[in-house]
Amino acid sequence: VLPFGLASCEESDGLVNPYGNWKERNQLYIDSIAAVAKANPAEWKVIHTYKFPETSEYYQSDVNDYVYCKVLEQGDGIVPLYTDSVTTNYRGQLIPLAEGSIVTFDQSYQGELNKDVAVPVGFAVRGVIEGWTTALQKMPEGSRWEVYVPSDLGYGIYGSNSIPGYSTLCFDVHLVKVYTNR
């Protein structure tokens, strides 16, 4: 009887792991975003990574090789190149956790975006994760997009700081200004 009693004490403490099935949940999430984006080309942009061609003799792209961008506001300014710098207002979040809460891992503003008071952050287009670099090179100045980055174009299997491996990254990005090196 004693071994059974000890085994039962080692059972779950009743807490739900908010990152349970994280890899699978993130893949299902990006798959669903991809399906919505592809079904609604008037509102969405599906952009293949800039790092390699969509198809070749040796490689066939999949859902994780694309960035999915819902156009909230379409700007009419110039589109940055890889060698340019930009300023943006942004908020980066993970997909909803198991209990439904949202983790914001980085942001340049608090609360709702107020373009009149937000202080944009500057950086080189080539100095950010592959998914951001990919999206920015198609985003006209003045645009605001929701950008969904699969883990392969973000922080991959290892993650970074508060971002677990296999995380799909969800960004609200307002491209304020492009500084060209042309």
| pLDDT tens digits along 162-178 | 999 999 999 999 999 99
Q: What tens digit of pLDDT does each residue of 113-159 get?
A: 999 999 999 999 999 999 999 999 999 999 999 999 999 999 999 99
Q: What tens digit of pLDDT does each residue of 79-110 get?
A: 999 999 999 999 999 999 988 899 999 999 99
Residues in a beta bridge with 48: 66
Polymer length in residues for the chain? 182
Cα separation, 65 vs 48, whole angstroms: 6
Query: Which residues, at least 6 apart from 38, have a Cβ–Cβ distance to it below 8 Å?
Result: 44, 46
- Residue 169: other Cβ atoms inside 10 A: 25
Cα separation, 68 vs 13, whole angstroms: 38
